[in-house]
A and B are shown apart, each in its own frame.
Chain A
Amino acid sequence: MTPNKLHFIVIDDSKLDCFIAEKIIRNTGRSETIKSFLHASEALDYIRNAPLATDGLKTILLVDIQMPVMNGFEFVESFDRLPKEKREDYIIYVLSSSINENDLNRVRYHTSVRQFLNKPLTSNTLSAMLDMVH
């Protein structure tokens, strides 16, 4: 059985990192759609206004931590305030170059964050991660 397709949203203030993530995601063959946002607030608006999923497909959110204006934590906190049925369409992964203990602990504290991933994103990490998503 071929694994389910997924929607992807990448949130990162670095254009290059968005580009890399998109490429790697496309290579997995699991992507139904991929969207990138350089501003977390725009991604949040997009998610807020999107209709509930009717195709039964989950959306994977890859969120960077350190971004100007609205950082990854602020994004997750705002996301947590969205209606439950909306949130159930999404799975959040935090992606960062941070090696700061506080950041890592803060990620663990957020129950809505599935996992913390180190940058740079590689095909191996992404494949391993997606194997756990059905």
Chain B
Amino acid sequence: MSKSDKIKILYIDDEVNNLVGFKASFRMEYTVFVAPDTIQAFDVLEKNPDIRVILSDQRMPNQTGVQFFEQVRTLHPNPMRVLITGYADIEAVIESINVGHIFRYIRKPWQEVDIISAIEEANKFYVTNTMLSVKNEELQKAYDELDKFAYSVTHDMRGPLLSILGAVDLSKNIDDINEIREMLGMMEKSVLKLDNFIRSVHEYYNLKRGDLHIVNIDFNSIVTDLTDMYDITRKMANIRFVTNVSQKEAFRCDEMYLRIILNNLLSNAFKYNRKDISDKFVELNIETGNGSSVITVKDNGIGIHESHIGEIFKMFYRATNEETGSGFGLYNVKDALTKLNGEIIVDSKPEEGTTFKVIIPSK
């Protein structure tokens, strides 16, 4: 077991001899911290929040072990508490359980096996508890997202549908074919918006539930696919698409996640172009080396206002009215990157353009 894998424990006793003896006995198995009084014990806990088990003597000059544990419970609720005492009267036992919420009670002079068994059992409890609180946090996050999701569904899915419904209703009384055509064009946009939203929901689900499938990535073939995919969009909006791939070494990653990231960044770059300039471009640079890939997506589009940059990765956040955004794309990008241990940096100026830089380590 390497040093960092050892369970961290803290022992408090006002008799320095006991501290020395304790440390000598258990330093091989555990990372042992000791403190001669409870003030110093709090100091140690402050600096080492990952201490899992605290063993304390009961009789100490300024504070009893039970009083100390009572305080520890509120300030450092996670570590397990073990009381060690030579005076085993029933009152002290009752108090230590009721007030100090101790895990074990060990009688002095202690036997090594008792201490080890107490630490091992306490550690099991500690691990289970921490896992539980991590799971609880995940669950809470999932619930929060579900709430947001349910709320957004009423708008993002009902919205386009009701627009179409309104248009259908209205067109019943319109005879002018040109007007009908104009409305059909707008209805088409609503349908595309709804479809776009449903696709993003699908991506979101894949990202949340899926496990990583790590494969060797060939960026050249991905970029060829992307070039084909955006060819029509590019031509219709008259945008130059410049790609640059330099892959010097193998890169291992989940291809679906990678494609979700690239797709969302590129579709944004193409979507939020500036209609008023002639030389529109989207640039995709991928450089792989030193165990990671750096992907840069740069455009000279409408840009993002400074006050919105902090919000763009939030679910359903939309910083602009332009185009049919779902408020889902960049959230999914961030989510995928979290799973890939990657990071993303945004640099943007309104009316000048946006650059997203993504760094992903090879798996």
Contacts and interface: CB of A to CB of B under 8 A. Distances in A.
Interface stretch (A1-9, A63-71, A84-92): A63-71
Nearest to A16: B186
A97 B319 contact: no
A23 B167 CA distance: 10
Given A19-B186, A97-B154, A120-B165, A14 B170 contact: no
Contact of B163 (A69, A98, A100, A120): A120
Contacts of A122: 166, 169
A12 B186 CA distance: 14
Interface in B147-205: 151, 154-155, 158-160, 162-167, 169-170, 173, 183, 186-187, 189-190
A69 B165 CA distance: 26
Interface in A4-41: 13-17, 19-20, 23-24, 27, 38-39
A16 B319 contact: no
Interface in A84-123: 96-100, 119-122
A98 B151 CA distance: 8
B169 A120 contact: yes
A68 B166 CA distance: 21
Contacts of A66: 155, 159
Per DSSP, chain B at the interface is helix
A131 B57 CA distance: 83
B318 interface: yes
B166 A121 contact: yes
B170 A100 contact: no
Given A97-B155, A99-B154, A99-B158, A17 B163 contact: yes
Interface residues on B, range: 20 to 34
Contacts of B327: 68
Contact of B159 (A20, A39, A97): A97
A13 B163 CA distance: 11
A67 B327 CA distance: 11
A28 to B, nearest CB: 13
A67 B159 CA distance: 11
A122 to B, nearest CB: 6
Contacts of B164: 16
B319 A14 contact: no
Contacts of A100: 151, 154
B321 interface: yes
Contacts of B267: none
Contact of B187 (A16, A24, A99): A16
Contacts of A23: 170
A26 to B, nearest CB: 11
Given A97-B155, A120-B166, A122-B169, A16 B189 contact: yes
A16 B163 contact: yes
Interface residues of A, number: 25
B206 interface: no
Contacts of B341: none
Contacts of A120: 162-163, 165-166, 169
B155 A119 contact: no
A38 B321 contact: yes
Contacts of A20: 163, 166-167, 170
A133 B319 CA distance: 36
A24 B172 CA distance: 12
A70 to B, nearest CB: 10
Contacts of B154: 97-100
B320 interface: yes
Contacts of A16: 163-164, 166-167, 183, 186-187, 189-190
Given A66-B155, A98-B155, A17 B166 contact: yes
Query: Among B155, B173, B183, B325, which residue has the most Cβ atoms of chain A within 10 A?
Result: B155
B197 to A, nearest CB: 13
Nearest to B168: A120
Contacts of B170: 20, 23-24
B183 A19 contact: yes
A68 B151 CA distance: 15
B319 A69 contact: yes
B320 A14 contact: no
Give 9 nearest A-B pairs by CB, closest first: A120-B166, A68-B318, A16-B186, A20-B166, A97-B158, A119-B162, A16-B163, A66-B155, A97-B159
Interface of B: 151, 154-155, 158-160, 162-167, 169-170, 173, 183, 186-187, 189-190, 308, 318-321, 325, 327
5 contacts: A14-B160, A16-B189, A69-B321, A98-B155, A100-B154
